[in-house]
Every structure is written in structure tokens, then in C-alpha cells.
């Protein structure tokens, strides 16, 4: 399933009109930052850095060949099977550490 604006579209990635797009597929795990001014809220210079308001997620992608390479505006991209497994393993409020 492809998601657009956090809503299921009812279409599979194979049915998407522009399959070259980096699509949000399978599941969305919303992220909330914990560090004010870094990934939560607004930075001292007034720039919005809030992870949730910037729509940064962990999600599936149709671009399996690009996994492990920069390919988004901050999201963590996983294969559909991996994001489904992760989605089923964690609950709302689970803390995650994302690092290199």
C-alpha cells in the first residue's frame, strides 16, 4: 500500500503513476524528537527542526535498490518486510536511537 499525506491511498506501488518516486509503503512509524532545538520544536535561529512537524518517519519504500544510501529528506527507509516486522514489534512510545 502506498501512503500519501499519512493516508493509505488504496494503491500498490506497482499501480502508482510515477513508480520512480520514492514512495512511502507498507507502514509509517511516526517519530517525535526528544531534544528541544535539535529535533523537537524550533532551533534558536527560528528554523523548525521538529521531527514530527517535518514529517520524518521510519517507513517502507519501493526503491529497494537504494536502501542504505541517502534517499530522503530525513526518513529512515526500510524494506517492506523489515518495516512490517518492526511495526509489529514496537508499541507507541517506544524510544529509538537513530545514528550512523
- Collapsing DSSP to helix, strand or coil, 77 comes out as strand
Residues 6-14, mean pLDDT to the nearest whole number? 92
Between residues 18 and 59, which one has the greater pLDDT?
A: 59
The full set of domain ranges for the chain reads: 2-89
CB atoms closer than 10 angstroms to residue 15:
10
User: Could you give the CA distance from residue 6 to residue 66 in angstroms, rounded to a whole number?
Assistant: 22
State the pTM of this model: 0.84
Any alpha helices (H) in the chain, and if so which ranges? 80-89
pLDDT at position 24 is: 93
Q: What is the pLDDT of residues 40-98, one digit of tens each?
A: 999 999 999 999 999 999 999 999 999 988 888 889 999 999 999 999 999 999 998 88
Amino acid at each position: 500500500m502506498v501512503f500519501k499525506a499519512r493516508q493509505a491511498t488504496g494503491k500498490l506501488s506497482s499501480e502508482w503513476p510515477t513508480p520512480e518516486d520514492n514512495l512511502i509503503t507498507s507502514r509509517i512509524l511516526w517519530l517525535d524528537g526528544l531534544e528541544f532545538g535539535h529535533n523537537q520544536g524550533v532551533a534558536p535561529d527560528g528554523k523548525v527542526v521538529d521531527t514530527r512537524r517535518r514529517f520524518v518517519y521510519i517507513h517502507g519504500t519501493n526503491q529497494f535498490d537504494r536502501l542504505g544510501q541517502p534517499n530522503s529528506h530525513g526518513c529512515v527507509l526500510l524494506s517492506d518486510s523489515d518495516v512490517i516486522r518492526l511495526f509489529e514489534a514496537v508499541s507507541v512510545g517506544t524510544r529509538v536511537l537513530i545514528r550512523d
